[in-house]
């Protein structure tokens, strides 16, 4: 459902969220970039069309963007031709331990079933180098559900997340230190932004 939804959305996803992303994403990324050594390897999970994150990060780092949607990856390659992208399911990825200095996952982890998220998060921890950083947005409250006409008619989407305190307990149990966290309002609820250090 997630892959088909983002394929159907194509560039409509960018148009819908462009204002929010141009306002929030540069500020969030600006908190991460100074913490990473120059030319670090950085992984983004759920890169969509590459804007603005891939364009921002690939100027300074050895960037790899992953997305489930072939349509979004094709757009990303057009938008940011100098960056590296691949179509993949984040839950099926495999990298050697301590590969990346930074991992970014904005509004993407919450597209996989909640029961699978702790396994993925432990993988992210292993893939990070010591003192590496994870920048991610996850749930603020507990909810799992779908939208049958998200942004455009016929585009179905699935989300699954727990509450911020549960994510915090998971992160600390894994060995992450919270650099900062913020509530990101959206409609009647919102999400939680975490910047975490291994």
Region 124-152: mean pLDDT is: 97
**Residue-wise pLDDT tens digits, 96-123:** 999 999 999 999 999 999 999 999 999 9
**Residue-wise pLDDT tens digits, 11-60:** 999 899 888 778 899 999 999 999 999 999 999 999 999 999 999 999 99
Q: Residue 161: which CATH number?
A: 3.40.50.150
User: Would you call the peptide bond into 52 cis, given omega within 30 degrees of 0 as the criterion?
Assistant: yes
pLDDT score, position 21 = 79
pTM reported for the whole predicted model:
0.97
Q: State the total domains in the chain.
A: 1
Q: Out of 16-20, 57-61, 125-129, 190-194, which region has the weakest mean confidence (pLDDT)?
A: 16-20
What's the rounded Cα separation, in Å, for the pair 175 and 197? 9
Of 109, 163, 158, 169, residue with least CA distance to 141:
163
- Judged by DSSP in three states, 179 sits in strand
- β-partners of residue 161 are 143
Which residues span the domain enclosing 172? 1-197
**Residue-wise pLDDT tens digits, 162-186:** 999 999 999 999 999 999 999 999 8
């Amino acid at each position: 459902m997630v892959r088909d939804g983002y394929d159907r959305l194509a560039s409509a996803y960018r148009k819908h969220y462009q204002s929010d992303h141009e306002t929030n994403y540069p500020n969030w990324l600006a908190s991460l970039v100074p913490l990473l050594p120059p030319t670090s390897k950085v992984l983004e999970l759920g890169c969509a069309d590459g804007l603005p994150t891939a364009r921002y990060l690939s100027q300074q780092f050895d960037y790899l963007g992953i997305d489930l949607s072939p349509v979004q990856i094709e757009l990303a390659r057009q938008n940011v031709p100098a960056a590296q992208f691949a179509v993949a399911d984040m839950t099926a990825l495999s990298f050697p331990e301590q590969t990346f200095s930074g991992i970014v996952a904005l509004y993407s982890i919450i597209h996989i079933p909640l029961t699978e998220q702790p396994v993925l998060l432990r993988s992210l921890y292993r893939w990070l180098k010591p003192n590496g950083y994870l920048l991610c947005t996850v749930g603020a409250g507990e909810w799992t559900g779908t939208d049958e006409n998200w942004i455009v008619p016929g585009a179905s989407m699935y989300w699954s997340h727990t509450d911020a305190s549960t994510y915090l307990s998971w992160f600390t149990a894994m060995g992450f230190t919270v650099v900062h966290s913020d509530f990101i309002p959206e409609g009647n609820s919102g999400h939680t932004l975490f910047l975490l250090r291994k």
